Chain A
């Protein structure tokens, strides 16, 4: 094996290098200066760095290469996810420009960790080597453990960080165990190699392999917040700073799904019958428990946390089928899901008061009369989450469940759709509070800032465009999953 790495390969990881560079600069800024001005500068640098990285990522579209002795891979699948993460990062950073200042958590480190988190996500989805995937996952997770606890004086935020860290550490342990057991039973640590190996051998006779696969699922199940590994989600989502909640709910989930889909769809499709049963049950439980628990929540952040669990269930519905061509439905769904969640959490941020990290349902009472624009935005995000056409949420559900129907998982599709009716109830309840109830007392001013408005408008336009003209995005997702062949 040639140990030398051609210099040209560094050009292919330009987005990653840029992110690292900017993150390090931000770290330095954080080390020397503090205060609102430094925070502003850091935020702007973060946005600029991400935009640059996004530019390089977009240019990378169409390149399919294994680099660094096959430890790292540049392909459409990875590029698709990189683009998604960067867009998430940009939106969250724009929101943070204002939010982090308000909560006085803005600093070089904050933005630097945001960028490192995305770097981890990008690494995680751009490799078919278990070790690289694991390193990416750790970079991402460690950044987010810290980000969760950024509201140092808020007990729930600290609790969220600690809880997420402890449970996350265990989950990572499981994941690593899983990977090492698969390695132990097959002698292979590269997913593409595994695929070749399975073409010749039947792995289900080896107990160690089965346990390894199970542990792998547990590890990813934790990250995507699937039942029964979802317990941390509501507490962490609720406790974390709201901008970080938006970041976690979308970025982490997309990254975990990205790696999960890549591993399973590359290597484990030949014995899809072996794991689909277990995931069938997981998917049904995830959808149902997520939605039913969301019904009784009074705190919107908590409700959206449970709803995000349910959405993971919807994606699992398509995941089960093992239909490589239709894997694009999951990618499309993740994209739509990211926009609606970032939008919804931004609307929550607007309504939150300085120093108060809660988001009681009551704070939405009569919002339609008090602040029509914010209410309208929130209404659109909720309707999209509920899957009402012509928004992207509908197209996503349509695509995901049509995948299930195509693969003849009729009951799964029916359960999924019925779940979306249950979900409609709690999304609509927020609309009830916003529009059907009259404002009670003086709720005071909300934090109106152009940054929030910009992000919400971007999200709405994206949702409408993706919903009405899904073609561009579907074709993009289809190209991305082309690597599964």
Chain B
């Protein structure tokens, strides 16, 4: 295991608690000195980013299991420990988080003028919760961070959001909480179940992976976990909080919501729901795939009809996250890797789109597509960035979106042609709504007087968008750099799921179990 520390503090703990330290320090800054608050937050988040970059280099591509792991007793009598670590999957998400936080601080620079101090404190607090959620390998620790993420996001939407912010904030909170409390019951059940089986009280996930839960119980437990994560993703029937939350949130809130928070749902499936209850997950393939496909197509169609830019992008998220779910539930190398890659690239490209919308909103104070038109002539630099990010969202080859989507479809076709075919229509629909939107906003004549004198991007905004474009191209042109990191982890994950599934079915009484094993091994091709 690679050891690495900053100021003598193990790296992951440092990454988790450094933003919190920053937030506490900010408490003591005079609230009128907004420039100091902003710069301090920027320095904190930049330092956090720089501290997280070495993770990428020090991370061993070939080592199995968790790296940079730390373990300390928290409450040994109950088997709760402070156990954190990352593998190739969470590594990339942690980096995405630290990167997007910097972007968010920069993009809030001028947009937030009210309660500046509280805003940045909330943001740093959110960063702590997000990184904690990604690193936690103890179910209680995970749950604590998971719930902790809710509060700052709730405040971000509710205090700095749009006109309908209170409704959106409460809806966001209640939806997520309703899902997660069911998960907590399942966690507790699993905890006592594992104790009955092995005589050990533990919330350690890696330990709990070993539990062999009977099929009938797996369905319930998987259901509870899956509901909680599906709400966060969000998957089709429980997605309704997302458009409201996105529309009302401030730009930075939307970026972080789309970029990181939604990924917590898909990440939860990979880290917890599926490996803990693999047989149930495999039996749920039809259900989850169909919901994913509905999400892809439904999200795309609804996007098309949205008059509001932010709402349009929010629904496009439903569609994009549908791909991720489809990839994960293809249960093969391409699908899962594509799903993870899509998680990252959705963070970049949709985050970028929200930034774009935020920038135009700051100038015009409207997000209605009908208020725009011909902006490309007035703001040429803006147009270039907007175009690139739009194309990345459509998954044009050469951009980041293409790699993930292509792999997902490859994986989906391999596991089930019907889902693959249906999902492919989403690609076309995606191009339709994005390009149509782009055309209406950017091209044609400038019809609205107010749009004639819009200022083009300033240096700060160019810097922000350049970072995004840099990653769009890097991830599109040289994906190997990222796949190298996740190869081992994904392989390990798939073989774990496969072995546990076979094991669980063998234990089932009667021939049904054995017959299903045979059927599963032919159905789901788990090797590359």
Q: What is the CB-to-nearest-CB distance from B34 to chain A, in angstroms, rounded to a whole number?
A: 16
In the bound complex, CA of A420 to CA of B174 (Å): 10
Chain B contacts with A in 161-175, Cβ cutoff 8 A: 165-166, 169-170, 173-174
Across-interface contacts of B174 in A (CB, < 8 A) = 421, 424-425
Across-interface contacts of A432 in B (CB, < 8 A) = 158, 166, 169-170
Q: Tell me, yes or no, whether B28 is within 8 Å of chain A by CB.
A: no
Q: Tell me, yes or no, whether B1 is within 8 Å of chain A by CB.
A: no
Across-interface contacts of B148 in A (CB, < 8 A) = 388-390
Closest B residue to A389 by CB, please name it.
B144
Are B154 and A428 within 8 A (Cβ)? yes
Q: Tell me, yes or no, whether B185 is within 8 Å of chain A by CB.
A: yes
Size category of the binding interface on chain A: 20 to 34
Are A428 and B77 within 8 A (Cβ)? no
Are B185 and A405 within 8 A (Cβ)? yes
Q: Tell me, yes or no, whether B482 is within 8 Å of chain A by CB.
A: no
Question: Which of the residues A417, A425, A435 comes within 8 Å of B159, measured between beta carbons?
Answer: A435
Given known A-B contacts A424-B174, A428-B170, A401 and B188 have beta carbons under 8 A apart: yes
Chain A contacts with B in 429-448, Cβ cutoff 8 A: 429, 431-432, 435-436
Are B170 and A425 within 8 A (Cβ)? yes
- A429-B170, A432-B170, A474-B75 given; name 9 further pairs at CB < 8 Å: A390-B148, A401-B184, A401-B188, A402-B191, A410-B185, A417-B181, A432-B158, A436-B158, A436-B165
Interface set of B (CB-CB < 8 Å, partner A): 75, 77-78, 115, 118, 140, 143-144, 147-148, 150-151, 154-155, 158-159, 165-166, 169-170, 173-174, 177-178, 181-182, 184-185, 188-189, 191-192
Are B189 and A424 within 8 A (Cβ)? no
A-B contact pairs, 5 of them (CB 8 A): A394-B147, A410-B185, A424-B173, A432-B166, A474-B78
Across-interface contacts of B154 in A (CB, < 8 A) = 428
In the bound complex, CA of A413 to CA of B285 (Å): 28
Q: What is the CB-to-nearest-CB distance from B225 to chain A, in angstroms, rounded to a whole number?
A: 14
* Closest 6 A/B residue pairs (Cβ): A417-B181, A389-B144, A405-B188, A436-B158, A421-B178, A402-B188
Q: Tell me, yes or no, whether A406 is within 8 Å of chain B by CB.
A: yes
Closest B residue to A437 by CB, please name it.
B166
Across-interface contacts of A431 in B (CB, < 8 A) = 158
Across-interface contacts of B170 in A (CB, < 8 A) = 425, 428-429, 432
Across-interface contacts of B166 in A (CB, < 8 A) = 432, 436
Are A475 and B155 within 8 A (Cβ)? no
Q: Tell me, yes or no, whether A418 is within 8 Å of chain B by CB.
A: yes
Q: What is the CB-to-nearest-CB distance from A275 to chain B, in angstroms, rounded to a whole number?
A: 24
Closest A residue to B148 by CB, please name it.
A389
Q: Tell me, yes or no, whether A414 is within 8 Å of chain B by CB.
A: yes
Chain A contacts with B in 253-268, Cβ cutoff 8 A: none
Are B185 and A470 within 8 A (Cβ)? no
Are B185 and A435 within 8 A (Cβ)? no
In the bound complex, CA of A414 to CA of B75 (Å): 24
Of B165, B178, B191, chain A has the most CB atoms within 10 Å of the CB of B178
Q: What is the CB-to-nearest-CB distance from B216 to chain A, in angstroms, rounded to a whole number?
A: 14
Q: Tell me, yes or no, whether A471 is within 8 Å of chain B by CB.
A: yes
Are B185 and A475 within 8 A (Cβ)? no
Given known A-B contacts A390-B144, A418-B178, A435 and B151 have beta carbons under 8 A apart: no
Are B169 and A436 within 8 A (Cβ)? yes
Question: Which of the residues B151, B165, B185 comes within 8 Å of A383, measured between beta carbons?
Answer: B151
In the bound complex, CA of A388 to CA of B173 (Å): 11
In the bound complex, CA of A394 to CA of B181 (Å): 11
Question: Which of the residues B144, B147, B184, B189 comes within 8 Å of A410, measured between beta carbons?
Answer: B189
Across-interface contacts of B158 in A (CB, < 8 A) = 431-432, 435-436
Of B158, B169, B184, chain A has the most CB atoms within 10 Å of the CB of B184
Are A413 and B155 within 8 A (Cβ)? no
Chain A contacts with B in 366-407, Cβ cutoff 8 A: 368-369, 383, 388-390, 394, 398, 401-402, 405-406
Closest A residue to B146 by CB, please name it.
A389
Total number of residue pairs linking A and B with CB closer than 8 Å: 76
Closest A residue to B151 by CB, please name it.
A388
Closest B residue to A417 by CB, please name it.
B181
Of B150, B155, B177, B182, chain A has the most CB atoms within 10 Å of the CB of B177
Are B177 and A474 within 8 A (Cβ)? no
Are A475 and B77 within 8 A (Cβ)? yes
Q: What is the CB-to-nearest-CB distance from A382 to chain B, in angstroms, rounded to a whole number?
A: 11
Are A398 and B150 within 8 A (Cβ)? no
Across-interface contacts of A402 in B (CB, < 8 A) = 188, 191-192
Hey, what's the 0/1 contact readout for A471-485 against B, CB within 8 Å counting as 1? 100110000000000
Closest A residue to B178 by CB, please name it.
A421
Are A436 and B159 within 8 A (Cβ)? yes
In the bound complex, CA of A368 to CA of B178 (Å): 27
Closest B residue to A425 by CB, please name it.
B174
Are A389 and B143 within 8 A (Cβ)? yes
Across-interface contacts of B185 in A (CB, < 8 A) = 401, 405, 410, 413-414, 417
Of B174, B185, B189, chain A has the most CB atoms within 10 Å of the CB of B185
Given known A-B contacts A417-B184, A428-B154, A389 and B169 have beta carbons under 8 A apart: no
Are B189 and A435 within 8 A (Cβ)? no
Of A368, A471, A474, chain B has the most CB atoms within 10 Å of the CB of A471
Across-interface contacts of A398 in B (CB, < 8 A) = 140, 184
Q: What is the CB-to-nearest-CB distance from A409 to chain B, in angstroms, rounded to a whole number?
A: 11
Closest A residue to B193 by CB, please name it.
A405
Closest A residue to B160 by CB, please name it.
A436
In the bound complex, CA of A424 to CA of B178 (Å): 10
Across-interface contacts of A417 in B (CB, < 8 A) = 181-182, 184-185
Are B178 and A388 within 8 A (Cβ)? no
Of A398, A470, A475, chain B has the most CB atoms within 10 Å of the CB of A398
Q: What is the CB-to-nearest-CB distance from B214 to chain A, in angstroms, rounded to a whole number?
A: 15
In the bound complex, CA of A428 to CA of B170 (Å): 8
Across-interface contacts of B181 in A (CB, < 8 A) = 417-418, 420-421
Given known A-B contacts A383-B151, A405-B189, A471-B75, A424 and B177 have beta carbons under 8 A apart: yes
Across-interface contacts of B144 in A (CB, < 8 A) = 389-390, 394
Given known A-B contacts A383-B151, A401-B184, A471 and B77 have beta carbons under 8 A apart: yes
In the bound complex, CA of A421 to CA of B189 (Å): 20
Question: Which of the residues A383, A406, A414 comes within 8 Å of B182, measured between beta carbons?
Answer: A414
In the bound complex, CA of A389 to CA of B166 (Å): 22
Q: What is the CB-to-nearest-CB distance from A65 to chain B, in angstroms, rounded to a whole number?
A: 28
Q: What is the CB-to-nearest-CB distance from B259 to chain A, in angstroms, rounded to a whole number?
A: 23
In the bound complex, CA of A189 to CA of B390 (Å): 80
In the bound complex, CA of A309 to CA of B456 (Å): 59
Across-interface contacts of B78 in A (CB, < 8 A) = 474
Q: What is the CB-to-nearest-CB distance from B306 to chain A, in angstroms, rounded to a whole number?
A: 26
Q: What is the CB-to-nearest-CB distance from B149 to chain A, in angstroms, rounded to a whole number?
A: 11
Across-interface contacts of A435 in B (CB, < 8 A) = 155, 158-159
Q: What is the CB-to-nearest-CB distance from B396 to chain A, in angstroms, rounded to a whole number?
A: 41
Of A401, A418, A431, A475, chain B has the most CB atoms within 10 Å of the CB of A431
In the bound complex, CA of A406 to CA of B166 (Å): 38
Closest A residue to B175 by CB, please name it.
A421
Across-interface contacts of A414 in B (CB, < 8 A) = 182, 185
Across-interface contacts of B159 in A (CB, < 8 A) = 435-436
Closest B residue to A467 by CB, please name it.
B144
Of B77, B140, B144, chain A has the most CB atoms within 10 Å of the CB of B144
Of B148, B155, B181, B189, chain A has the most CB atoms within 10 Å of the CB of B181
Across-interface contacts of B177 in A (CB, < 8 A) = 421, 424
Across-interface contacts of B155 in A (CB, < 8 A) = 435
Closest A residue to B184 by CB, please name it.
A417
Across-interface contacts of A405 in B (CB, < 8 A) = 185, 188-189, 192
Question: Which of the residues A406, A424, A471 comes within 8 Å of B192, measured between beta carbons?
Answer: A406
